[in-house]
Every structure is written in structure tokens, then in C-alpha cells.
Structure 1
Amino acid sequence: MKLEDQELSLGAEDYSLLTDLYQLTMAACYAGEGLAQQPASFELFVRHLPNNFGYLIAMGLAQVLDYLEKFRFTPAGIEALQATGIFEDAPAQFWEILANGRFTGDLWAVPEGTAIFANEPFLRVEAPLWQAQLVETYLLNTINYQTLVATRAARMRDVAGDKATLLEFGTRRAFSPQASLWAARASMAAGLDATSNVLAALKLGRKPTGTMAHALVMAIAAVSGSEQDAFTAFYRYFPNSPLLIDTYDTLRAAEGLAKRVNAGEIQVTGVRLDSGDLVALSQKVRSLLPDAIIFASGDLDEYEIARLKSAGACIDGYGLGTRLVTGTPVNGIYKLVEIDGIPTMKQASNKATYPGRKQIYRQTIEGKFTKDRLSLASESPLDSEHPLLQLVMKQGQRLQLPEALENIKKRTAATVASLSDSTRQLNDPTPLPVEISEALQQLKQATQQRHKLEASSKR
């Protein structure tokens, strides 16, 4: 029996196998039926926005491009597939395309940081059928998760305002170590200032940020001193970091620090409140330490930030974790829309899709988005419209260098500012109207009619 790999780490050489089994079994069928190299188009979109979301912020394209560029099947990977016994009857052509294959298609996508609505493609893959099929799982994984985190981050920034400092603290709550890196990236690209994830920060060319833990206070207080001694020790080595003051008694800690500040013994640049009545505590701490920056943390989200602000809390920044990196999923789907020039669509009840390769045209008037038009890719923009889907990869090669995180952050901010107040509101938002073009409606009707004729002819 082969030894198990308990580490389950992921490298670029594993990308092709990080997929669902049925992607591979379908690719084998395509090969056997002579369909593998047929030109196909798939689109990734959501049917519905999550509850109480007026928009989604597209994110994850950078990882999609990296994945598609490095997509290969290694000899060891092919051997491992063969050893499963699942593919004993697969045609020889299947193994040939895996051994020699890479991603050779085109990719159209909306830029990261762009607001997207129901039925609008985040991206479109145009490639030989077997390639476009096999990449589905990974594309959905990165787009769905990063879009969820980016949208939560954008909403939190929108509610907190431009002046508040927002820190990503979600690593310990993210769904995996890999997800923690993606969450840190998505949150900063969508408006947060920094992350406590050291690896993510360094990989992204940023400086990690954070405060201190309750354990330091408890350890020093128990072994050699008091809570104030712990503050002194921490400031000895990290003089500009906020102090965590709610280990025992928040107000007593603040009063002790205030006395020492007034006596010239210590300078307090900031404090963090992690529990209790954050409104009342922050107001009292502000009166005791008027020059200190006050951070709050502890299962905060955009709704709690809004409540704290309306209640008059004296909070300058927020540490955001669990509710930023988890929550109602973005339920993106990936559907075949065209094969060999023939439009296709799913017609199942409540899950019908629009056929054909599509484009999103966004209308902007006086700096505000007024409506979107979902059209066929062959249609042209109308007055005040601009296309959202852009060609970002041609024949398996990306067309531009990776975009700087700061540029995506600016786009996100500009995008949110261009949405109406009713679309941005937290409760019962009104998404931007999405008009279906007449040509797309006609294609849908024609495709439905074609399916009916095909079905009746085989009875």
C-alpha cells in the first residue's frame, strides 16, 4: 500500500490534479468520442447574489492566470491516476492529451475590484473542450472564495469610512492555510490596510501588522510581575505597537496606563479592546488616554461596525477576522455556453442559463453606474456604455504583467463609490439593474426551440 502524504501541501506541479474526479472522467469521454479538441466556451457567474448583498467584488483573477499558465500533467501525476484503476477503460487518446497538454486557450475576465451582479460572467474560458472542462474546479475555488472575502472587505470599508484603519486578522479562522493567504490578499485588494498574516504580507511586499496577545500579559503577571509590567516589557521591544488592555479589567488597565503617561513613565501610542461593551469602554478609554489610537476586535463585521459608529463609539480602527474570511458562500457556477460555434444552455427548472458567448456593458452617467446590459459578445456598446470583460490571456499566454495590489484597491474604492446608496446599503439592498439584450433573448428562445425539436425528433 502506498504511504499517505499527510502534509497535503500544494505546489504548481499539483495544479492539474486539484480537480473533481468528474472533470477527468468527462475529459476521457470527450477524448473517446472525438470531442476533446472541439473549441468550447465556458462562463463563470452566480445565479443569485448572497442574501443582503447588493453587489459582489470580483477577485481571484491573478491566481487564475497563474494556474492556467502552469497547468501541466506530470509523468508522476499520470502514473498516480493510472494506479487508481478508475481509468482502465479510458481511451489511449486521453492519456496522450494529458501527457502532451497544457492550457492553450483564451481567457476573458472583468478586472479585479469590479462590481458584478447575478448572471454576469466574472470570466469566460475559450479553449479546447477538454482543457476548458478540466480547469473548472480550481477556477471556481479561487474566484468564489476571494470574491466572498473581497466583497465583505469592501462593505466593511464602505461602512467604516476612509479614515478608519482596517486590519485583517482572519488567518486562524480561514478555511485552510492556502485560504488564509488568499483571504489576506483579497481583503487588502478590496480596501483593508494590512494583514497580520506574516507570510501573506511578505509575499505581497507588505509589512505585517498586529498587536499583542493575552498570553504575554498572563505569563508576565503570573511569573514575575503585573499587567503593567507586561505592558512595559512589550513596549521595550515594540514601542509603537498597540497594547491589549482587556485581559483582566479594561478600565483598570487604562487607568494605570493613564497615570503612568501623566507621570512621564510611558508613552501609549495605541490600545486594543477585544471584549465587553465596546461603546462604553472606548468612550471611557478615550477620556483616560486621549492621544492613544483605539482599536477594536472580536467577531466584528460591517453590521457591528455600523452599530458601533451610530452608538458613538470612540474607535479609530478595527481588527477583522472570523466574519471577514467566513460567511455565506459566493455560489459561483461554471457552464458551457458554446461548442464548435453552437450555442448551448441549461434548461433545468430554476437553473436555466443564457446561451452564447457574452459581454457585459456598463452604463455610467455623471460618475454613477446606472445599469448593466448583458449582451452577446458580438454586440457593440451603446451610448455611455463600456465593456467589462477584457481579453487577459491569449493562446495560454497572459497579455499583461500582474496588477499591483494598490491599483486593484483603488479600483474597488472607485467601483463602490460609483454604486447607488440603495445598492450599497446593508439591509435589503437593490442591485444594479441588469438588462438582457434583445439579441441575447432571441438566442435563448432559438436555443430552447432547437432543444425541443431535437428532443421530439428522437421520440
Structure 2
Amino acid sequence: MTDHALSITPDDYGLLTDLYQLTMAACYVGEGISNRWASFELFTRRLPDDYGYGVAMGLAQAIDYLTHWRFSEAQLTALRHTGLFDQAPEAFWQTLAGGRFTGNLWAVPEGTAIFPNQPLLRVEAPLWQAQLAETYLLNTLNYQTLIATRAARLRQVAGPDTRLLEFGTRRAFSPQGSLWAARAALAGGLDATSNVLAALRLDRKPAGTMAHALVMAFTAIAGHEDDAFAAFHRYFPGAALLIDTYDTVAAANRLARQVQQGQATVAAVRLDSGDLAALAQAVRSQLPNATIFASGDLDEYEIARLQQAGAPIDGYGLGTKLVTGEPVNGVYKLVEIDGIPVMKESNSKTTFPGRKQVFRRFEHGQALGDRLGLMDEPAAPDEKPLLQLVIHQGQAVQGPDALATIAQRTATSVASLPGSVRRITQPEAYPVTISQALHDLTDRTRQSVPQPLS
């Protein structure tokens, strides 16, 4: 393979993993434990600073991955040629050659508010299969959960009527990442994306305006930025005009005169730089009926500041700070093997043993708190179990939800949280308790862990 072949397709899912997943699988096969039934849970240890909640996202891609990964003969040949597996047993290659995911997947629905140490999903499968799944599942769920959470926070601050557009493709970490970011942003509460491929594949209409390059090109050739506005409106009437290339206020004044004289119609403008609050006020005074969009490294904190300043802004384009930022610290840990609960006890990274369920307590549609318990515990009358079975014995038993369904679930789930938890600065911790059964299992498991040799 050469560097021209780095685009990802489902045919690549098998090899799209970290090396140590494969070396561990080879060890499992060699030692005769590869088919022991194992349960791994994916959860976040913590949320980014000042985040009171997360929004689970990426399950659709997890289902696609687990139901499609394979190893082709060419892939196995390439893997052999690395020389890294020269001592691996022949049974390892036979296991990969016929390998399919044959296990179960439990997960919280996309768009559900989640909190640290709660499983977003659990893989139950033969040990080697569950092990190989770690890298891809963390990649897609960590990133999409981050984007969906940021989108939900942006919607929360901007309010239900403000138009929010995802402009992050040029800043996303990869072309594949840009598609996932667009999807997660829409599912998290944004209205549209400028990513044409993502929009069309998601049955959405892409949204956008113009760039400064068009204004500069027409100004250089024709002599004035107004020529750029007129030319653009000839082909895209009503589209938003980017008016901050040179002098924002002067451009608004000229456009206002043209509107008054019946020479132009200005439905919307975009501001991308400068003192957005002051400029928006000036533009509104000249173009009272135009929709004003703002962009330029904006996030929920800047939108809140603009609102507090009384900026008459009707919509925002969100890019860099939406699709990048402090990651969601998701991890994937073994919690049970052959029915034996296991836990990690290293400093600051202790995990809870056993297969778990998240029970969310509601009263009149409001979330009052969660109980992290064992999978076989019953739910109380006012509790709802969050993890659902989505793959059974390798076959999907639930299709992916429609994007509109996920977006509505996001809005409902976030709105159900206490206001103090939803604050974008210094949120209070959401109440999460540990069931007595899980406490007891943790104590028993801790006591059974062999002590290191002195």
C-alpha cells in the first residue's frame, strides 16, 4: 500500500486499529483464551473543563463498524510481511481470516446526556473480537460526542430561534472527521452545515455564504466591492453578503441606499471580523430588515458575551472552536471475562467491575439524578435504564435513528437536566450515585485482585 490509499472504506475496518490490539489478539489465540466471553465498556473519565454534561454520539458509526469489519487475504498478507507476527501461531491467521463480529452491543441512544464513569456502550463478545474493537469505537465516539456536546451548548446559549451553521470542515482533523463533525453538530442542535458531501448524504440542504476572495477578486477587476455583491446576487438572489472585507459600516451604508432606491434587495449579511457587537448595531441601523450572521472563531462563551452586549445578531457560523478543542476523555476497559468481574486499580484510574446499567430518575420529565448499577438490577418505578441492546449475536437489532430524531432527543435530554448543571461556566455536578450491589461487587473484586510480588 502507498500513501495514495489512505481513504477509508468499510473494507479497511479490520486493519484500522492499533498494533497492540492485534498483538494481544495473537497472544489470546496462542494461549487458548481468545474465545472466552468478555465485556468491555466505553466511558469517559471526565468531561472538558466547565462542561456539566456530555451528549453521546457516534453509535451509528459503531454499528456500521461492528457489522462490517473483515480481514481480506491481501490485508493478512500485508500484515504477515511486516515480520512482527513471525512467532504468532498459525491459528491467529485462521482466526482473522474467518473473523466476524459475533457478539452483542449495548449502548445509550445517540443524543442522550451522559456523565463521567457511565458506560456509553458495552461490547460483549469473544475476547479477541471485543479487544480489536477498541480503537475504532473510541475514535468515533470520542470525537462525535465532543462535537455534539459543543453543539448542544451552543444551542442552549443561542436559544431556539437563532440560526446556527456548522462551518468547520476546513478546521476538522481530517476529511473523514469533517463528515463526522457535521453529522454530530446537526444531531447536537445546529441547523445546517456548509459541508456539501455531509449535507447531501444526510438529506440536508447545505448552507453558506461567500468568502472574501470573491469580493477581492471583483474589486480588483471591476473596481468596487459592490460589483461583487451585485454579481453574486445575480446567481444567488437573497444570499448573505459578506460585507467586512474593507469597511463594514461603509458597505452597509451603500447597500442601504441601494435598497432605499429600489436598486437592490439585501436579505442577509455576514460579519466575520472586528467588534461584532458594535458592527452589528451599526448594520442593523442601516439595514433594519436584513438578517445578520456572524462568524470568526466563535464559541458559546463569545455568543453569550455578544448577547449580553445587545448585539442584534440573528445567526452564527461555527467552525474552528466547534470541531476542535479539549477532547472527551473516553476509555474502553475490560469489566468482565468469562463471567468473572474485573477492575483496574491504578492510581486515579480505578474502574468499576462488572456489566453495568445507567438508571436515570425522572419526575415530570425532569432528570433528578442517575444510579450506576449492575446490569441485572431492576429499575425503580421512577427510573429509566439507558443502555439498550442494539446488536445481538453480530446482527443489528435496531437501525440507526434519523438525524432529526437524534436532534430532538438531544434537545429533550439536555433540557431535562437541572439548570445548574447546564451552565456554561462553573456548572454544578449532576447527582450520580453508585448502587449498593455495585459497591459490594467492587469490594469483593478488589479483595480478589492478586497482590504484586514483593
Say whether the fold is shared (TM-score over 0.5).
yes
CA distance in 2, matches of 1:152, 1:181: 16
Aligned length: 454
Cα offset for 1:404? 0.3
The SS at the match of 2:218 is helix
Q: How does 1:176-191 map to 2 (within 5 A)?
A: 176-191=174-189
The SS at the match of 2:360 is strand
2:451 to 452, 455, 458: 455
Query: What is the one-letter code of the residue matched to 1:406?
Result: A
Q: Which moved more, 1:406-415 or 1:216-225?
A: 216-225
Query: What is the one-letter code of the residue matched to 1:280?
Result: A
Q: Quick check: 1:229 aligned with 2:227?
A: yes
Kindly report the root-mean-square deviation, in angstroms, between the aligned alpha carbons of the 2 structures.
0.9
CA distance in 2, matches of 1:272, 1:395: 52
Partner of 1:28: 26
Q: Which moved more, 1:217-226 or 1:330-339?
A: 217-226
Partner of 2:111: 113
Q: Which consecutive residues of structure 2, in runs of 5 or more, have no partner in the other structure?
A: none
Cα offset for 1:4? 2.5
Cα offset for 1:401? 2.1
Q: Which consecutive residues of structure 1, in runs of 5 or more, have no partner in the other structure?
A: none
Partner of 1:220: 218
Partner of 1:307: 305
1:338 to 336, 339, 342: 336
1:416 to 414, 417, 433: 414
| Contact persistence 2:356–2:373 (CA under 8 A) | yes
Q: How does 1:251-270 map to 2 (within 5 A)?
A: 251-270=249-268
Partner of 1:170: 168
CA distance in 2, matches of 1:420, 1:162: 18
Cα offset for 1:166? 0.1
Partner of 2:155: 157
Cα offset for 1:225? 3.1
The SS at the match of 2:3 is coil
Partner of 2:46: 48
Partner of 2:131: 133
| Contact persistence 2:147–2:185 (CA under 8 A) | yes
After the TM superposition, list the runs of 4 or more consecutive aligned residues in structure 1 that deviate by more than 3 angstroms: none
CA distance in 1, matches of 2:429, 2:365: 17
**1:395-431 CA deviation, whole Å, 9 max, x = no partner?**
1111122210000000000011101111000111113
Partner of 1:375: 373
**1:204-251 CA deviation, whole Å, 9 max, x = no partner?**
111101000111111011012311111000000000210000000000
Query: What is the one-letter code of the residue matched to 1:455?
Result: Q
Cα offset for 1:197? 0.3
Indicate the percent of aligned positions where both proteins have the same amino acid: 65
The SS at the match of 1:118 is coil
Partner of 2:35: 37
Partner of 1:142: 140
Q: 1:74 to 1:7 in 2, by over 3 A?
A: closer
Cα offset for 1:255? 0.4
| Contact persistence 2:163–2:314 (CA under 8 A) | yes
Q: Quick check: 1:276 aligned with 2:274?
A: yes
Partner of 2:208: 210
The SS at the match of 2:7 is coil
Partner of 2:405: 407
| Contact persistence 1:16–1:72 (CA under 8 A) | yes
